A and B are shown apart, each in its own frame.
Chain A
Amino acid sequence: MPLLMVSPRPSPPSRPAEDGTVLAFDFGSKRIGVAIGATLLRRASALTTIEAETNETRFAAIARLIQEWQPALLVIGLPLALDGTEHKMTARCRRFANQLHGRFGLPVVLTDERLTSAVADTELREAGLGWRVRKGRVDALHPDTALVGIHTGGVWVAERLHAALGLVTPLGSLDVSFYRDDFSRSGLHAQLKTSDIPFEVEDRPIVIVDDVLYTGRTIRAAMNEIFDYGRPARIDLAVLVDRGGRELPVCPRWLAQTLQIEEGKNLQLERSETGVLTLRLADA
């Protein structure tokens, strides 16, 4: 799934409740809903559904999710009768919780599901309006669509999206340093990357992908650069986070999160050696 998790910094295991990623399970005998959350955003969103044929395939799928998201804490919604008494599913769910704890050695918390179902409903509706790449949405993209990630964070996001969407056009990447509007003030940045557009731009729909949208100047530079490769059919913008503070009329078509971040702070996507993406907030 192309959904990305964010947490303020790599989480020390000793402080799971304050820091890091949380995976939440909605246990059912046929399928298990999985949601993901983190403390920086203070919200969770639906991640995937595991269709469980057998115990083994079920736990193999969960193992993959844990490997990918490196959660610090697992949360399981405990089904209770409306009056709060336990029933047959409650006992099976407790057994599932014990198995999770035993297999993965992560802290497991059981929580009263009744209190969160209303919230979850809202979350799902919001997610539907937001940037959730579902089968239906994939079909809505033109088959020739090309993704272009902006170095460096945007390329990481674009790589995940490219795989999730199953696009055939190879992934492009841009280092917009040569098109920045502050060259005469600050010169070239160190560590230039080479732009790579491995497809014909002429008449092709293009989606620019970036991690954090701020002033919009990077997107302006990226659009200028793309036009030097040819005339695209259209350009759309997908970003992980919109932090506000626009200085140009730029608006994303797809957006995962809006965050209010004060001026002077730097919000940056980082990638660990295992490929886990983390948003870090630091003083600029």
Chain B
Amino acid sequence: MHNPQLNKDGALQHLLTIDGLPREILNAILDTAAPFTEVAEREVKKLPLLRGKSIFNLFFENSTRTRTTFEIAAKRLSADVINLNIGTSSASKGESLLDTVDNLCAMQADMFVVRHAMSGAPFLMAKHLADTRQEHIHVINAGDGRHAHPTQGLLDMYTIRHYKKDFTRLVVAIVGDVLHSRVARSQIGALTTLGVPEVRVIGPKTLIPADADRLGVRVFHDMRAGLKDVDVVMMLRLQNERMQGALLPSPQEFFKYYGLTVDKLACARPDAIVMHPGPMNRGVEIDSAVADGQHAVILPQVTFGIAVRMAVMCMLAGS
């Protein structure tokens, strides 16, 4: 099947989802990201690679952190970054997504970083660019609905590789609101592609997709059983804004059963790392003692995220 993310030479043209990307490309992104981590330690934190390129951050859904890290990544590569807060602009005046894209293409855009509440919106943009013969313009999915958040998945993989080196002997648990989480979907895709032998998801029945086992994961509803001997704990944010109806009695009850505490973490391996994509709800999915504790690698995740996004932008622009 044709993969809309790859060009005819098999190189990465857009980054829309981790699904369907071969292991070689995932490893190439992680390998490329490694030297970018060093740039942050320089006097001049800037590389000339994307000089003269215009990158449009199209955020149809609010996100300060992801937009900021994309912006920093683009600026460290010397690109010109234009932030569009669509919530307060043309979309609210009734302009369609593709009309917005056409207008920005007329402003000589080179790359779009797009976040949208609707799953598939970045695919629609990529297809439109192909249909209008503008293959030189690239799309990065910065989160679409419940579907995918590939750069988050990749930076999580970079973090795991940094601390654990080898994917092929790990037990990884993803904990919390898997149902609404595009992050979880990207994480599962990346972990299985990179050869992690056991991926677990832990959460209440109402927040785990009914067909989760079809993704190749083991489902646990008891957190202590699910955390037993895991090497990596990946916490998810409880996405209150996406919940409709009575999925949870209360945040307090969620914390009691699925909040990561020092006590529950003791079930994992002694050298386990704890990750969180942010922003954290302290006292809901994670206890402060864990979030600020020695197992947490949550802030390094943010730092690595810049390098991974720089790598993705360079690989797209150079394809």
Contacts and interface: CB of A to CB of B under 8 A. Distances in A.
Interface string B29-72: 00110110111001110111100000000000000000000000
A188 interface: yes
A229 interface: yes
B42 A228 contact: yes
Interface string B303-317: 000000000001101
Interface string A164-186: 00000000000101110001101
B206 interface: no
B42 to A, nearest CB: 6
Interface size class of B (residues with CB under 8 A): 20 to 34
A192 interface: yes
A186 B318 contact: yes
Contacts of A192: 31-32, 34-35
Contacts of B315: 187-188
A194 B38 contact: yes
A196 B49 contact: no
B35 A194 contact: yes
Interface of B: 11, 28, 31-32, 34-35, 37-39, 42-44, 46-49, 314-315, 317-319
24 contacts: A175-B35, A177-B35, A178-B39, A179-B48, A183-B49, A183-B314, A184-B317, A187-B11, A188-B314, A190-B28, A190-B31, A191-B31, A192-B31, A192-B32, A194-B37, A195-B38, A202-B43, A224-B48, A228-B43, A228-B44, A228-B47, A229-B42, A229-B43, A230-B43
B318 A183 contact: yes
A227 B314 CA distance: 22
B80 to A, nearest CB: 15
A206 to B, nearest CB: 14
Nearest to A224: B48
Interface string A29-50: 0000000000000000000000
Given A178-B49, A195-B38, A229 B28 contact: no
A108 interface: no
Contacts of A190: 28, 31
Contacts of B31: 190-192
Contacts, number: 53
Contacts of A178: 35, 39, 47-49
A196 B49 CA distance: 19
A66 interface: no
Nearest to A186: B318
A178 B32 CA distance: 11
Contacts of A228: 42-44, 46-47
Contacts of B34: 192, 194
Contacts of A4: none
A177 B47 CA distance: 10
Nearest to B28: A190
Contacts of A253: none
A191 B11 CA distance: 16
Give the 9 A-B residue pairs with the shortest CB-CB distance, closest first.
A187-B318, A228-B44, A194-B35, A178-B47, A192-B35, A230-B43, A188-B318, A194-B38, A183-B49
